[in-house]
Amino acid sequence: MDAPNLHLITEWNAEPVKTDYYGLPKAGINEDLGKIPLDSLAVKAINNGQTIVDIDSTSGAAVNRIYHKTM
């Protein structure tokens, strides 16, 4: 499977790391905006070279809602 931009979160850490792999500070996340659910259609879209907003899926709808909240 060739999906270089695919990230899967399998567990939750109560105290997340504040830096990335290179030691640089991570960007803050505003959890009030909403969450993007894991969706099997999203994986298929990414493997087909599409984005999740290009297809009709729950994760794509969540991204659209978050986008419109921030703009």
- Give tens-digit pLDDT for 12-69: 666 666 777 777 777 766 777 888 888 888 888 889 999 888 888 898 999 899 888 8
* Whole-number pLDDT of residue 39: 85
Its sign, for the CA torsion 17, 6, 24, 63, is negative
- The domain tally of the chain equals 1
* 16, part of any domain: no
* 5, part of any domain: no
Q: Which domain holds residue 40?
A: 33-70
- Residue 37 near residue 59 (C-beta atoms within 8 A): yes
Based on its alpha-carbon atoms, the radius of gyration of the chain, rounded to whole angstroms, reads 14
* 12, part of any domain: no
> CA 4, CA 47: separation in Å to the nearest integer?
10
